[in-house]
Amino acid sequence: MGNEVSSICSDLIRFDTTNPGSGERPAAEYVAGLLAEAGVEPVVFESARGRTSVVARIPGDSSDALLVQGHLDVVPAEPADWRIHPFSGEIDGGCVWGRGAVDMKGTLSMTLALVRDWARRGVRPRRDVVLAFLADEEASGEYGAHYAVRRHRELFDGCTEAIGESGGYSVEVRGRRIYPVAVGERGTAWMRLTARGVAGHGSRPPVDNAVAELCHALSRLAAHRWPVRLTPGVAALITALEDILGESIDRDRLEQEAERLGRAGTLFAAQIRNSANPTMLEAGYKVNVVPGTATAHVDGRFLPGHREEFLETVDRLLGPKITREFVSLQEAPSAPPDSPFFARLCTAIVAEDPAARPVPYVMSGGTDAKAFAGLGIRGYGFAPLMLTPDLDYFGMFHGVDERVPVAGLEFGVRVLDRLLTAPEA
């Protein structure tokens, strides 16, 4: 099982599933083949040419089901920037290197290695397990999770909880190993902004310059200081950190406290306020021509329960001359940190690492949990990894020289095995 998880991870990385790109089909076929060899019947479907997902169900001792979901696509990588080629899947220095090692082909390899080990040992999970290997998470999920929910809803019958990215990884803080387990994430509001004005010659006095109007609006948006909002998930995290660190955290100065706490502070620094970052601009075609329109894209994120406040603030800052439309608008899902299932997640980690201190956590970004929340499935970020202290987990996401320790993958397989097969306490 140990050797197989690293070899599967290497194989998956070698499939270039860059999004945007040619799609996930070859990687999906590889996954389907591994499942079939283990006696698990895969359902393979496409939402568009090459945009391929795989779903399978493993019967358990109880028909209520747990969804284990992850994505096959990855963000782009520039080989010239990497020490080892991002699609080599090379094992070097005890790590599997390549785009997707952490986000999230490493996690998929843990799931696949475990299922194949079950087949060899004749093990049956405690409850039905639905496996989903999905396309398009690194964009909007429209070709992956959202398509699966719309067109293949029956595949997820009986699922009450789900695990996926990102959580269950170790963070070394003052000699303690903290494992954040995600109980929610910020909502997504990707927006296209358009300013319309009067086209004309660049040498003439401006009448209604669309480029200038858009720049003024973006400047107001970028300069805005969003107020700190303490959501229940982050409040639970801070309480847990106080217990672990043996000190109080001033809830009236959370931004400053996040900086003071260093690595521990990164667990909530980006999760205490909404955000709206301009990311793309497009206008004009010639230096001496004032264009009639100008457009921009903004990556907006809002805290659970704060969507309306976010949108009202954005509209006020943009002003009446800017048209806003959504590229993607997805809610901020949350799951209870005081649930028996959350306790089981924590127990599985501590069983493999007695020094572990699991804590609830809210993700600053978004995952496919948003799509499954629409089916009433409570999503938890749980992709267990024990990392060496020198590895910056957050820096691995979409970063250069992404890699995952082989020992960390093997740890994750053992944790998942305990979670999915151990009897109720």
Neighbours of 73 (CB within 10 A): 26
Neighbours of 64 (CB within 10 A): 12
Residue 323, φ and ψ in degrees, nearest 5 = -90, 130
Angle at 315 between CA 309 and CA 316, to 5 degrees: 90
Which residue among 4, 24, 73, 352 is the active-site one? 73
Q: What is the largest CA-CA distance in the chain?
A: 79
Tokens of 377: 């499935």
Neighbours of 92 (CB within 10 A): 11
Residue in the block written with tokens 């899902």? 333
Query: Could you tell me which of 404, 380, 418 has the C-alpha nearest to residue 5?
Result: 404
Helix (H, G, I), strand (E, B) or coil at 276: strand
Does the N-terminal peptide bond of residue 166 adopt cis geometry, omega within 30 degrees of 0? Answer: yes
Q: Residue-wise over 12-41: b if at least 16 C-beta within 10 A, else e? A: bbbbbbbbeeebbbbbbebbbebbeebebe
CA distance 168 to 380: 10
Active site residue 73: yes
Cα–Cα separations (whole angstroms), residue 129 to 59, 87, 140, 282, 421? 7, 30, 25, 46, 10
In DSSP notation, 236-262 reads: HHHHHHHHHHTS---GGGHHHHHHHHT
Residue 12 carries which DSSP code? H
CA distance 4 to 18: 24
In DSSP notation, 87-149 reads: TS--EETTEEESTTTTTTHHHHHHHHHHHHHHHHHT---SSEEEEEEES-TTTTSTTTHHHHH
Alpha carbon 154 to chain centroid distance? 24
Amino acid at position 205, single letter: P
Active site residue 243: no
Which residue among 24, 128, 137, 138 is the active-site one? 137
Q: Residue-wise over 317-342: b if at least 16 C-beta within 10 A, else e? A: bbeeebebeeebbbebbbbbbeeebb
Instruction: Give the catalytic positions in this structure.
Output: 73, 137
